[in-house]
Amino acid sequence: RSRAPIQKLADLVAGWFVPAVILVAVVAFVAWATVGPEPRLSHALLAAVTVLIIACPCALGLATPMSIMMGVGRGAQAGILIRDAEALQALETIDTLIVDKTGTLTEGKPDVVGIVPFGEMTEDKVLSLAASVEQGSEHPLAHAILNAANEKAIAVAKADAFESASGKGVQAVVDGRAVSVGSLRDLGERKVVLPGNAEDAAEHYRRQGATVVAVTVDGRPAGLIAVADPVKPTSADALKTLLADGVSIIMVTGDNAVTARAVADQLGIRDVRADALPEEKHRIANQLQTEGRRVAMAGDGINDAPALAAADVGIAMGGGTDIAMESAGITLLRGDLMSIAEARVLSRATMRNIRQNLAFAFAYNVAGVPIAAGILYPVFGILLSPMLGAAAMALSSVSVIANALRLAKAKLH
């Protein structure tokens, strides 16, 4: 979707290169025509034409796009979809990774592990009300609640006037009653008073790493539903690899602090920012950037989209929402954080390859143009012919392409 910054530098150099070569060709013609051996005009034309032929900027123009193309192709083979060349370049300099919890560190396939009804409500009734409302939601917790209702063969009623507030839950009208499903924090903001046992029950599940949501009917608490999402088997090893590579890890989640800390402790994450709404994730990314950090954001949900777009590199999980993948420059098709470590290896290999190509193209022209102009003639009596100049020009382009092709076999582990 965008060009790598290093490509813009190469284009800038190429823009100055052409007039510089023409100037060298003119100077060579004048010098040979003035002080060169007889026949002066023939030698002058020979030198000027050879300069123009040997100095074709093809190698300089191919240096970056060939490496980027091969790097993107190698990434696709490894399940790393690179949509933005700028992200590929920036990834090697990243020093801070912000990670969402649900669907990024965890499987994104949560299950209902507990239901706490209030008053005359039963577990099945609380689950039925919650499932009825969650029919219109794409959140992983909604899927867990609907799956639990299906497994228990609980009837799910039609919901009208469905509304979803990002980071604050959902609400709808079910059988003429206003039903909402959201966080306990949201209930506090709405001044909903919970029964005395609610907080203790919520804390019990949170300490196990579960997310607790509250169900209300007509503004009155109906019950709690605890949903647990297992941590991905590869998350711990992936984070250790990134930490060893000098990347600081920050978990930013909309979950309660107790739940977030329980998951973070399993993965060895020290810096945890909990109860974060989508705009807060965006603000945290911007704040880290103002501190001079190079920030990558990894997430999978609609809530993560603003932060994904704001980060230096946005990384979406392959199983995430469309808006998250559209906001990110890189998508991990396997949804595995280990792919981030592999993507950093690929980024370094690609940028190293580009620098090699640019160095070769620059050295070739620095050496080739003066030789074509006849700088060796006074000492060694050597003056290149246009045929040799054309061969050298073609060889320079082939060399750049051959070097870029090495990325197809780059090892990412």
Q: Which residues are catalytic?
A: 100
- Tell me the H-state helices in 36-163: 40-54, 58-77, 85-90, 123-134, 140-151
Please say whether the dihedral angle defined by the alpha carbons of residues 25, 28, 33 and 34, taken in this order, is positive or negative. Answer: positive
C-alpha atoms less than 13 angstroms from C-alpha of 102 in its C-beta half-sphere: 29
Q: Which of 108, 111, 112 is nearest to 140 (CA)?
A: 108
Q: CA-CA distance, 132 to 3, in Å (whole number)?
A: 47
Token pair in block for residue 251: 């978990």
Q: Give the phi and the psi of residue 403 in degrees, each rounded to 5.
A: -65, -40
Reduced DSSP (H G I as helix, E B as strand, rest coil) percent helix, strand, coil of the chain, to 5: 55, 20, 25
Question: Distance between CA 284 and CA 272 in Å, rounded?
Answer: 12
CA dist 147 and 208 (Å) reads 21
**DSSP letters of 356-376?**
HHHHHHHHHHHHHHHHHHTTT
